[in-house]
């Protein structure tokens, strides 16, 4: 195999592949990328078996063939290459030679047939979607997904189609975020769970400039295509909890308040706590909400904000981080907290717009 390529073009592709390459080094081959040189193009592939990426670009191919090479090493060499032109060639023995100007590197690759094959998909199924909507939906849910690897079925975002609506739900067992939007969407017979890592890759993709994005779902995968790049995300094989059951009904104690007031107040009050995520007490009475937190070492923090509340006095504890994360993504000036009692799930949502719902379980402080 032998080809010549522009440094900057190559670098961009390698950088994207880097993000996918398995970092835990469970299988040595997964630290590598597969480069295939064919008909005036090279194709770069990386996978961690959960997310796979395939990219391509033009190159001057002198001799077709393929190699696998350590992704990080190659990226670092190319980044530091002295000239704009890079020349890569490989011999049958697995020795790879990288040349740029006077610089020359020898690297030994791993056998190409050890590299996992790229998941199959049908190009015709790909369906163009609105990237902004997708990005927004991800941002408003993914933070609530579980990071506990033992609970794989909630380690991602649940996606389902409901008539003309598309719905995404994420939970970590303590809180749940749900968003619903009407949007064009590819065929999806039943709900699927997208893994966190895949979602974050997808988000990066959505953020990287203009360009149409197409999606498709197979039984096991979600396929995303943008320009020449294809990302395949393996779906989580599991049952997502029955989220509809945990969305409370009849929470009659409604507190209306300014989103910014609550957010900044929580930030200040929870500052005192030893670390983020500590409980903050919500003392609610007519027209006002008193937030307080205490830290055995530092003392107590207390703050009051004016709210719209007409019901009985009560107090309830919440994890400040859980509240702040949701308040950070809701785009509305006014929000509502709907409570039942100090042990039942609460709802946080925009006071005006429908379509987004955040359910959070109180804390006993």
Instruction: Specify the residue, 161 or 342, whose C-beta has the smaller distance to another protein.
Output: 342
**In this structure, what token pair is assigned to residue 349?**
């949502």
Is residue 360 a contact residue for another protein (CB under 8 A)?
Answer: yes
Beta strands in 109-263 (DSSP E): 127-129, 156-162, 165-171, 175-182, 192-195, 213-217, 221-226, 229-234, 253-258
Q: What 3-state class would DSSP assign to 328?
A: helix
Structural contact between residues 102 and 23, judged by C-beta atoms closer than 8 angstroms? no
Is residue 24 a contact residue for another protein (CB under 8 A)?
Answer: yes
Binding mask 175-194 for another protein (x = CB under 8 A): xx------------------
C-alpha span between 29 and 43 (Å, rounded): 17
- Residues 303-342 binding another protein (CB under 8 A) are 317, 319
Q: How far is CA 68 from the centre of its chain?
A: 28
Instruction: Specify the residue, 221 or 251, whose C-beta has the smaller distance to another protein.
Output: 251
- Residues 258-277 binding another protein (CB under 8 A) are 274-275, 277
Q: Tokens 């979600």 label which residue?
A: 222
**In this structure, what token pair is assigned to residue 35?**
């480069």
C-alpha span between 192 and 7 (Å, rounded): 39
Q: Which of 150, 190, 252, 312 binds another protein (CB under 8 A)?
A: 150
**In this structure, what token pair is assigned to residue 177?**
């975020």
User: DSSP letters along 40-51, please?
Assistant: TEEEEEEE-SSE
Distance in Å, CB of 251 to another protein, minimum: 14
Q: Which of 23, 187, 267, 310 binds another protein (CB under 8 A)?
A: 23
Q: Which of 32, 229, 265, 294 binds another protein (CB under 8 A)?
A: 294
Instruction: Specify the residue, 251 or 319, whose C-beta has the smaller distance to another protein.
Output: 319
Q: Which of 295, 308, 315, 355 binds another protein (CB under 8 A)?
A: 295
Is residue 246 a contact residue for another protein (CB under 8 A)?
Answer: yes
Q: What 3-state class would DSSP assign to 297?
A: coil
Q: What 3-state class would DSSP assign to 189?
A: coil
- Residues 110-149 binding another protein (CB under 8 A) are 146-148
Q: Which of 111, 173, 228, 328 binds another protein (CB under 8 A)?
A: 173
Q: Which of 297, 312, 313, 354 binds another protein (CB under 8 A)?
A: 297
Sole window of 29-37, 190-198, 218-226, 292-300 interacting with another protein (rule: CB under 8 A): 292-300
Distance in Å, CB of 148 to another protein, minimum: 5
Angle formed by the axes of helices 7-20 and 71-80, nearest 10° = 150
Instruction: Specify the residue, 5 or 337, whose C-beta has the smaller distance to another protein.
Output: 337
Angle formed by the axes of helices 131-139 and 196-207, nearest 10° = 140
């Amino acid at each position: 195999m032998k080809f010549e390529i522009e440094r900057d073009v190559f670098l961009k592709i390698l950088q994207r592949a880097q993000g996918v390459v398995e970092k835990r080094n469970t299988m040595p081959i997964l630290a590598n990328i597969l480069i295939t040189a064919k008909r005036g193009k090279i194709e770069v592939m990386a996978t961690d078996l959960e997310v796979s990426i395939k990219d391509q670009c033009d190159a001057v191919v002198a001799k077709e063939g393929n190699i696998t090479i350590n992704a990080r090493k190659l990226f670092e060499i190319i980044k530091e290459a002295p000239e704009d032109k890079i020349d890569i060639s490989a011999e049958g023995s697995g020795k790879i030679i990288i040349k740029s100007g006077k610089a020359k590197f020898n690297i030994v690759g791993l056998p190409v047939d050890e590299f996992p094959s790229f998941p199959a998909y049908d190009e015709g199924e790909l369906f163009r979607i609105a990237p902004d909507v997708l990005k927004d939906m991800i941002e408003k849910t993914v933070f609530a997904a579980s990071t506990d690897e033992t609970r794989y079925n909630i380690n991602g975002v649940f996606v389902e189609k409901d008539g003309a609506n598309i719905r995404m739900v994420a939970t970590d067992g303590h809180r749940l975020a749900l968003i619903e939007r009407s949007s064009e969407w590819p065929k999806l017979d039943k709900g699927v769970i997208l893994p966190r890592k895949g979602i974050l890759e997808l988000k990066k993709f959505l953020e990287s400039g203009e360009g149409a994005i197409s999606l498709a779902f197979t039984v096991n995968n979600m396929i995303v295509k943008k320009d020449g790049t294809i990302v395949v995300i393996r779906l989580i094989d599991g049952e997502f909890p029955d989220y509809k059951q945990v969305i409370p009904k009849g929470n009659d104690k409604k507190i209306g308040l300014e989103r910014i007031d609550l957010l900044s107040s929580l930030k200040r009050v929870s500052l005192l706590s030893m670390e983020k995520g500590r409980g903050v007490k919500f003392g609610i009475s007519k027209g006002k909400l008193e937030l307080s937190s205490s830290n055995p070492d530092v003392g107590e923090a207390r703050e009051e904000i004016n709210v719209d509340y007409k019901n009985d006095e009560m107090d309830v504890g919440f994890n400040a981080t859980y509240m702040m994360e949701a308040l950070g993504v809701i785009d509305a000036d006014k929000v509502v907290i709907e409570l039942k009692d100090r042990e039942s799930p609460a709802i946080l949502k925009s006071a005006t717009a429908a379509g987004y719902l955040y359910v959070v379980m109180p804390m006993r402080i």
